[in-house]
Structure 1
């Protein structure tokens, strides 16, 4: 394939090229190259099946779709690709990803000879354009098309420059606070759970400017709020995003209450499942504790309706849940007790406050030494008060390039995701320099696996791999390379949640034995061939390392190539040998490992594709 620019899972609307074609929405894996926009059907364990391709030279217009209609799929941010006499509607999971693709597509097509002077900013629905009400599908557009607007050769950066700008969508963005937030500096704004706020600036992805009901403004962590919308499930306590079937069952059994329930993402993207616990009697008359899973279904014709039992349909999922909380109506029991995974605990923030990444030494309290790492000792401590537990890494002199790290620290603090260990900031005003991180109770993944060996279910091991892969999808999308992904560089927290740590840190290591592939400390056993031979790092070399990490997980912390030297490993890899299948790994899991260990980087999957494959296996 030609040089790939972008890859992403999206939903696409059927183009209904024939009058009798049904209207539907299907998930497809989109690949933008220098020559074409192609999309593939995802088939678990099989090679993706090409479903369509558009030569870039045929594209007449690429633009965001602005509409007020209900979008009946999980991805709510549409854009359009107009080509020949057709319009392809694509639905992205968020605004940033949509903007990245629109910019990239515009850049690649801005010099096409067939560009339209005007385009339709709204959908073609029910035989007319919603923007100008013309009934001819091929009618000229009603808004001037600017092929150069927002065009950029590069995708949007993960950490925008700190130039404040208003968000571009018309109208006010109203959000609801999911958690209380206590200001950490004079520039922050207090948040009260369940109260509404108006967002006036969201140029920084992690810290937005908000206005409260009294007219006061300040910075708030974006992860603490959710857009106010009747269709936004994340505002509800019963919704558990990205939780596996096995994890849902574990939480519901732990609750052990009749009618304990949650709503979670289904294994089929864009759909949802209600999981409910019951002690209803079995056929033998005895209690039979179990979890039932009901997929929330959507009507296929006419107005969009949601239902669990066909006789009871509703305009929205919250209405459906509210009804079944009071009526079983075809379910094994009514939905009585909400079970939520981690919703009571506020998420980590990118830094303690907006723009503050240098931490005062006097604000840190050292409690006890909890370990030692590549750079020095690690202490459990507190920031400012006993309520904010942190991990403090003390950097021993000569261990890393401190000046280089200081230059990058501000960028690294802005990398924020639930499956990354958050770097809060640095303390450089005294020696030794300290790095302040989120504290993870159960320590590094490799030690945790070894200490609990024999107690893990296969579902739990798969969940650990999913956690790591999810964090790496974020780093991949931010064009950030980890360079040293391994179980020793992942940490375990509450509910056995695994997070990726020490991303990008090897850039600052001054130890020649660690940075040279000839050194005994170099992580050869986790390194891709192009890293060993040419020091060529990329997201695809991270994918190779992730394959080895999966092997570690399914061997419960065993050292890869345990009895071989680095030299022997390099020789074995060059001859095509790979790690053997772990006993706890299924054939499909091992196939993903083998896919990650392809000799050529371009033959390896992206983290996005790997996550989708793992999610299918976990029946998300």
Structure 2
């Protein structure tokens, strides 16, 4: 009798649930209950045709100006019920399900396929049997679920749920108007809303939805790792404390720079830094192209900058002919790259002209992150005996080995001095100890002859004794760009 009432008098479900909190008669075992594949209520009449609904993404923030408008934020997903002129009537999908009007040009339609591929519970390309095996394999457990494409009904879906040691499969029907349902009478404009409903009302299907299915993934190979045989060394460009740098070719077609290191020099912290720096991408940062870390020696492969480092270039005949306008361009490019590192909370720790590489058309890129660290709490303190380039290093870093983004700003001021003196060594004639003593007493480098008072003023701002008093790289970049534009178009 109870099954007849459940099947034909669905409006009594709530009352029935209160009478039997477990949702099933006491003489039935939950583990043995297995619904037939298909509709849970196949005898009910079809739903009346619902208005067409569409899923849209919000492009811009919109604040409601009246009671009939809906406030939305960029990135929200909403369900559009109908269009009215330049507005749409929409229902919010996240948070409280409010309905209101939103300007149509604030929205972008999202295809079902685009939405699904972003969901952790959707797995494409698998059938009933594979879904069963996947859900029964660790680390999945009771309550794991997934939605997959229907094998027998193209354009529809199936919900597969693990219930203890069994997997149950439910067909998700698609209404001609675009909505979805497991039970006729309970339709939803999206699969997300369908899952949200049955996550709360799981007793209807007698299978809790606790967590999306976890797929076993094959270990990913490092996209930067390449065989050493792909690279040929041509000529040695230089040598530093971290190894040699060579000009070479990649697959006989791409000119590259290759830094050669020994495995013994690849300390754990240095390896971690390389892994972190793979995610840094900016036009003013030297681009990492590949790594050869299997066997000896280690290759770190980057794009080739044919004019070498900035310090050597400034000292060359071509560098000596650079105009003030060129020097400002170089300064702006470096400030632009350092602004990106500032936004990523990365401190370079060795910013100097020797670590800026120059390419064609005077393109400059920041390089040599051998000392770089990702900042934690915006400050990095070292306890190791690292060789410190004292004349480029902020006093708090040189004395206490405490680095921050503001210590990079000090170094940038020294780089500006190098640029506008055409590669002259800062604090020339002083030892490292004398340099620190003089700085502590308030001494600052004098204004270079080719440097305007405005640029020298920026240098002095970079050399403020208290780190918090120094400008950000964003401010430095904006001020330098303004000076650069004025010198190029003084009457604009």
TM score, norm. by length of structure 2: 0.54
- Aligned pairs, how many? 301
Say whether 1:373 aligns with 2:240. Answer: yes
Aligned twin of 2:208: none
Alpha-carbon shift at residue 407 of structure 1 (Å): 3.1
Distance 1:581 1:600, change over 3 A: same
Query: 1:612 and 1:380 mapped to 2: Cα distance?
Result: 35
> Do the aligned residues in 2 keep the contact of 1:463 with 1:618 (CA within 8 Å)?
yes
Q: 2:287 maps to which residue?
A: 422
Cα pair distance change 1:202/1:493, threshold 3 Å: farther
- Within-5 A mapping of 1:228-307: none
Instruction: Show CA shifts across 1:446-481 (max 9, x none).
Output: 000011353110000000011111111111111111
Tell me the SS of whatever aligns to 1:495: helix
| Alignment partner of 1:560 is 2:398 | no
Give how far 1:410 is off: 2.8
Task: Please identify, of 605-614 and 449-458, the stretch whose mean Cα deviation from structure 2 is larger.
Answer: 449-458
Following superposition, the deviation at residue 355 of structure 1 comes to: 4.9
Alpha-carbon distance change, 360 to 461 in structure 1, aligned in 2, over 3 angstroms: same
CA distance, structure 1, for counterparts of residue 323 and residue 295 of structure 2 = 46
8 Å contact from structure 1 (residues 543, 607) kept in 2: yes
Call closer, same or farther: CA 1:471–1:201 in 2, change over 3 Å.
farther
Aligned ranges 1:202-601 → 2 under 5 Å: 355-385=222-252, 387-396=253-262, 398-401=264-267, 403-452=268-317, 453-505=319-371, 521-601=387-467
Q: Distance in 1 between matches of 2:232 and 2:118?
A: 33
Give deviations 1:185-224, integer Å, cap 9, x for gaps.
xxxxxxxxxxxxx999999xxxxxxxxxxxxxxxxxxxxx
Deviation sequence 1:24-60 (CA, Å, 0-9, x none): xxxxxxxxxxxxxxxxxxxxxxxxxxxxxxxxxxxxx
Rg larger for: 2
Deviation, structure 1 residue 496: 1.0
- Superposed CA deviations along residues 216-261 of structure 1, whole A, max 9, x for unmatched, are xxxxxxxxxxxxxxxxxxxxxxxxxxxxxxxxxxxxxxxxxxxxxx
SS across alignment from 2:414:
helix
Cα offset, 1:506, TM superposition: 5.3
Aligned-partner SS, 2:335: helix
Indicate conservation of the 8 Å contact 1:119/1:145, yes or no.
no
**Cross-structure match for 1:306:** none
Q: Cα offset for 1:552?
A: 0.3
Q: Matches of 1:434 and 1:368 in 2, distance apart?
A: 15
Q: How does 1:80-99 map to 2 (within 5 A)?
A: none
2:489 is the alignment partner of 1:615: no
CA shift in 2, pair 1:366/1:603, >3 Å? same
Q: Structure 1 residue runs of 4+, over 4 Å off?
A: 131-135, 141-147, 198-203, 396-400, 515-519
Paired with 1:543 and 1:456, the residues of 2 have a C-alpha distance of 24
CA distance change for structure 1 residues 370 and 134 in 2, over 3 Å: closer, same or farther?
Answer: closer
Q: RMSD value over aligned CA atoms?
A: 4.0
Q: CA deviation at 1:79?
A: 4.8
Q: Per the alignment, in what secondary structure is the counterpart of residue 537 of structure 1?
A: strand
Report the CA distance between 1:396 and its aligned residue. 4.4
Conservation of the 8 A alpha-carbon contact between 2:347 and 2:373: no
TM normalised by structure 1 equals 0.43
Shift of 1:143: 5.0
Greater helix proportion: 2
Structure-2 residue corresponding to 1:119: 71
Residues 406 and 358 of structure 1, relative CA distance in 2, 3 Å threshold: farther
Distance 1:79 1:525 in 2: 48
CA distance in 2: counterparts of 1:563 and 1:590, whole angstroms: 21
Pair 1:568–1:609, CA change in 2 (3 A) = same
Equivalents in 2 of 1:608, 1:145: separation in Å? 36
